[in-house]
Amino acid sequence: MRYGPMFGPDVTFLGVDRCDLGEPSSFADADVVILGAPFDGGTTNRPGTRFGPSAMRQACYLEHDGSRPSLALRTDGLRDLKVYDAGDVEMFSGDIERALGALEEAVATVAAAGAIPLVLGGDHSITLPDAKGVARHHGYGRVSMVHFDAHADTGEIEFGSLYGHGLPMRRLIESGAIRGDRFLQIGLRGYWPGPTVLDWMAEQRMRSYEMSEIVARGVDECLSEAFTTAVDECEGVFLSVDIDVVDPGMAPGTGTPEPGGLTARQLLDAVRRCCLELPIVGVDVVEVSPPYDHADITAYLGNRVVLEALSAVARRRSGEPWDPSQPLLDGR
């Protein structure tokens, strides 16, 4: 009954075990279930993210053996947690409403089973069903959002549609799934959206860290401040990572590149902190577009964002505190 892959061969994320969403027993013990969302029907410019799940699952030079011990965190995100890959959700890029609906069901199924859904996008329109699916389990308004992105994705309508990769955050807040005042955006920059949308955002009491603020205050201070909000009256946090939060020089394989972003190093460190310090209940990594990539470096980065998140979740669950200054071989 497992749908498997929409494109190409049926592989799992670095070789973790498969599960079948249609058979609850196949993932009953899951800590995390990976889902592919091979969809780019919501992009307003360059497509290609339909190949993001396949690319991120494979982008590693090591053996695909379902194990990745983190040097830094001293956990194995794929072994210390029970991680399954449920394959792709069938998402025809030509029918966004049907596609997003199918994804929401899949995510909700995972969340209902007590596991963290980790969705490999796909364009950013998928965060609407991702976060709604999670909120259906944890409670509308009970999940906050930490959102790394160059763009606010709070547009009202695009190409005549209420769905698309520039709009999901607005739809999410309107739906009540995520409270506007628990919506934390990191890395915004550039020339969109305009004043009307920004006014709407301010009305929702969103908190958006533009790059100027991040440069002036430091990313760590901004994160610490954001984390305080994230856990205020919310038990869970959804982490949505748009790869374009990183500078296009280090993440060229994306659809709407905006110069002046974080370094890859900064993103990895920030994701690590999120998953070490916050009660993550859902994750997505979106906007990796292989046709625009070079030597797979953006797919590699997406893969490492996933691993960083899982390693840190595992570390958090271990209960052991973590000191970034500890030498690698210390304590061995």
Of 116 and 268, the one with the shorter C-beta distance to a copy of itself is 268
Closest CB to a copy of itself among residues 9, 319: 9
Give the list of residues 6+ apart from residue 187 with CB closer than 8 angstroms, or none: 148, 149, 150, 209, 211, 214, 245, 261, 262
Does the annotation flag 151 for ligand binding?
yes
Cβ atoms within 10 Å, residue 319? 6
Mark 249-288 with x for binding to a copy of itself (rule: CB under 8 A) and - for no binding. Answer: xxxxx-xxxxxxx-xxx--xx-------------------
Site membership for a copy of itself, residue 52 (CB under 8 A): no
Is 124 annotated in a binding site? The answer is yes
Q: Check binding of 329 to a copy of itself (CB under 8 A).
A: yes
Q: Measured from the CB of residue 101, what is the shortest distance to a copy of itself in angstroms?
A: 12
Q: DSSP states of 161-176 as a string?
A: BS-STTSHHHHHHHHT
According to the binding rule CB under 8 A, does residue 68 interact with a copy of itself?
Answer: yes
Angle at 117 between CA 19 and CA 187, to 5 degrees: 145
Asked if residue 242 belongs to a known ligand binding site, the reply is: yes
Q: Which residue has the tokens 């974080």?
A: 262
Q: Determine the Cα–Cα distance for residues 24 and 19; give it in Å rounded to an integer.
A: 9
Is residue 1 close enough to count as binding a copy of itself by CB under 8 A?
Answer: no
Cis status, amide bond into 193, omega within 30 of 0: yes
- Interface with a copy of itself in residues 200-239 (CB under 8 A): 201-202, 206-213, 215-217
Minimum Å gap between C-beta 72 and a copy of itself is 4
Contacting residue, 128, 296, 306, 314, with a copy of itself by CB under 8 A: 296
Element (H, E) at 18: strand 17-18
Structure tokens belonging to residue 85: 């890959």
Nearer to a copy of itself, 15 or 121 (CB): 15
Q: Which of residues 102-121 bind a copy of itself (CB under 8 A)?
A: none
